[in-house]
Chain A
Amino acid sequence: MIGEISHFLSLSAALLLSLVLIFNLFFFFNKIHQNQLTLSTRLFNQACWLVFISFGMYVYLAISDDFSIAYIASHSNSQLPAFYKVTSIWSAHEGSMFLWIVFLTAWSILFINSLDKKHPLKKLTLLMLSLIILGFLLFLLLTSNPFERILPFGVLEGADINPVLQDPALAIHPPMLYLGYAGFVISFSFITAYLLNGNFELQWEQDIKNWSFMAWIFLTIGITLGSWWAYYELGWGGYWFWDPVENVALMPWLAATAFIHSLFASSKSNVLKTWTMFLGILIFALSLFGAFIVRSGIIDSVHSFANDPERGLYLLSFSGLITLLALTIFAYRLPLLNSSKLVVTGSKESFLSMNNILMVTSIFSIFLGVTYPLIIESISGEKVSIGPPYYNTIFAPLILIAAIFIMLSVDALWQRSMTLKTLFITMVAPTMASLLSIYLIWQATNIFSILAYIGIFSGSLILFSYLFRTINKKFINKGSAIAHVGLGLLFFAVSMNSILSYEKNLNLAPGQSISVNESVQNFSFKDIRVFKASNHDVISAQVLLLQDGKEISLNPQKRKYATRGQITSESAIHASVLKDTYLTIGDQLENGSWTFSLKINYFIKWIWFSAALMVFGILLTIFKKKPS
């Protein structure tokens, strides 16, 4: 019964949103009347609340083990702790789509009610938001209904959540990511409304600035958590794999990063407005594209949900409609949009706009990387795969140029050109210091890799620019500085990781020990034990390492889960400031020995730390006291 009520509430929400749209379409060409807007806003608010209540009831259904609901029966189990019963809702397609809609609705209702009653863009924004939420609700109800019952009788026990997903990270990684994606619905709808409205005297940047910053923060946290989770819990042994789904998350992130810079410039000095609008549309379009890639099954990936062309076609047509709508208006209005001021060469905004171009270039490169295999396959039927070498080669030069522009913009001024002399002075010290650090790293490691050194150089350029500016006690925007230091650190850590990290595959029988290299002087496989845990069997190896003069005990495990029979691998990790020792146990060989994979990962924690710095920097920017 509760399932039906929950289902009915979602349907009613869709109905109310259609009413908002139809009602406003009738009066579209009339002058806006206050009562009409008030009524629409109320209807909209009620629709949003219906979605929330419906989702709340669905959460209740999951907690109370209603296995007559097909989706809950396939993804939950009565033995699960309540916490995982709730997270199992977003462990597959239907439920995660539901969650996505809830977030979309939450952002929308907060934003709409934050706008003043008389705000000239309120009505059109409301309509755009209604259209988007309605589109997704219909997608949910028509093609991926999470409320479907198993008739006539439900099953007694659920099929259990995938054990890989029985992890606290699942509780936060997807929701954070969705909060980020969905958050950009605000800037998208607001910009589209601005373009439709046609009054270009209006100042709109301030209204969406902090909303976009918040969405960026969620997106960044979501992606970072995914990377962290894959490394610590899933045993992937790395932080980034250029998996298609990672790529479709990175594209909106890059667009969003360019967007918040551009938005900052537009709100500060009234330039780059066209760029800001274009990027605002692009982020949401790319988020929709990501949803399409993941949920249509068009590309195989660890993240992809079940293959279903019908869903794919719906998502494609709907995202296409929304994106084309926005882009067509944008193109139509383009001649009228030129900013009142020109960008001064050598000013801060000129460097910003250069980096906008770089970001869009990198987005395009990733887009090409993701779609190229599909293009080739549809032309010649050949299967090709595009991997890390492509992305590394493309990104190294882009990163270098971006770093140079960041360095220049640190000392540049808004709307004023830099003299050649200051330009030179700005560049000299960081460049020298970065070259020196490369030389030192080369001396210390004796490894040469052109791509990695480009990365280290780029990272150092940014770090030293801010360092010297701090030493010289010049004015620094703290939030921006911290975020950019995070970026510099990220470039540095990723590059150092790529040259220093290594992997050894070892075969040992219990009781054996060997010497791996100078650093890992002794690797001894003490014992292997098999025991039972609550819902899985465990094979646990005891390994003692003598690494850099210190003894380290590691217990890599394999687990076999009862309900699904799935086998998972639990890596053992010993972490120090510079490096992680990452040990995974493989299979038993015929002669009774076991295979181990020993990975030494350098600077890997720095990568997540630098992402945290970026998030912290943007948070500072949001909560900075406004100069009165």
Chain B
Amino acid sequence: MNQSLRLLIVILPILILVFFAKVLLLDEDIKFSNFESKNFPAFELNDLNGDPVKALSLDGIKLVNVWASWCITCLVEHPFLTKLGEKNIQIIGLNYKDSDFKANAWLEKYGNPYLFSIYDPRGDLAFDLGVTGAPESYLIVNNQIVGHIQGEMNQTKWETIFLPLITKAKQGS
């Protein structure tokens, strides 16, 4: 009796630990299973004004930028995105796990570099895209994901990663 009680005192916590570790790791597996599919995933969402967005409107060369009003780094990269917008780069926002009210207020306050922003409060599309957080940027050519940057977008990353991909895409077509 005493012997088995002693074993139980040690084994029970180990079992609990293993269980929680498993649940945690399982969570992570699900998160990364759909990471960066080649085609831009299908979705049915609205933009921030409440109008439905068609997946088809992603033809041509587009930058999809994941952002949110709660995201500090988004504010950091915001001036650079505005500059890109001025150079006629088409940027589509993916407003991630945010509320439309806060998001619109944010755009009003800091300016809107986006053609429109897909409103994804639950992170459905972001999940299919494999978004890990905000900000993240995807380079889309004719509905195909060709490039991906996690974290802040800036001059260097734009020139070294995305610009060559754009040149390549233009030569290909």
Contact = CB atoms under 8 A, between A and B. Distances in A.
B102 A320 contact: no
Contacts of B105: 565
Contacts of B10: 324, 327-328, 331
Given A316-B24, A334-B5, A155 B102 contact: no
Nearest to A324: B13
B2 A313 contact: no
Contacts of A371: 19
A306 to B, nearest CB: 9
Interface string A200-231: 00000000000000000000000000000000
A323 B31 CA distance: 30
A334 B6 CA distance: 7
B24 A74 contact: no
B22 interface: yes
A459 to B, nearest CB: 34
A150 B6 contact: no
Given A313-B21, A316-B17, A378-B22, A155 B76 contact: yes
Given A331-B6, A565-B99, A565-B102, A298 B27 contact: yes
A73 interface: yes
B35 interface: no
B102 A564 contact: yes
A561 to B, nearest CB: 10
Contact of A316 (B7, B21, B75): B21
Binding site of A, secondary structure by majority: helix, strand, loop or mixed? helix
A282 to B, nearest CB: 10
Interface in A133-182: 150, 153, 155, 159
Given A320-B13, A324-B10, A150 B24 contact: no
A488 interface: no
A480 B171 CA distance: 84
Interface in B47-100: 69-70, 72-73, 75-76, 99
A447 B54 CA distance: 57
B161 interface: no
A330 B9 contact: yes
B124 to A, nearest CB: 16
A312 interface: yes
Interface residues of B, number: 30
A74 B76 CA distance: 13
Interface string B1-41: 01001110110011001011111111110010000000000
B11 to A, nearest CB: 9
A296 interface: yes
Contact of A296 (B24, B69, B76): B24
Interface in A312-345: 312-313, 316-317, 320, 323-324, 327-328, 330-332, 334-335
A52 interface: no
A606 interface: no
A622 interface: no
Nearest to B26: A378
Contact of B2 (A324, A334, A566): A334
B89 to A, nearest CB: 23
Contacts of B17: 316, 320, 324
A313 B26 CA distance: 12
A73 B6 CA distance: 50
A317 B25 CA distance: 13
Given A309-B24, A316-B24, A334-B2, A327 B72 contact: no
Interface in A348-396: 371, 374-375, 378
B102 to A, nearest CB: 4
B23 A331 contact: no
A375 B19 contact: yes
A378 B23 contact: yes
Interface string A296-307: 101000000000
A328 B14 CA distance: 11
Listed from nearest, the 9 A-B pairs whose CB atoms lie closest are: A331-B6, A565-B102, A331-B9, A320-B17, A565-B101, A309-B28, A312-B24, A565-B105, A331-B10
Given A150-B76, A298-B27, A378-B22, 17 more contacts: A74-B70, A298-B20, A309-B25, A313-B25, A316-B17, A316-B21, A324-B13, A324-B17, A330-B9, A334-B2, A334-B5, A334-B9, A375-B19, A564-B102, A565-B99, A565-B105, A566-B102
12 contacts: A155-B76, A159-B72, A296-B24, A298-B23, A324-B13, A324-B14, A330-B9, A331-B6, A374-B19, A374-B23, A375-B19, A564-B102
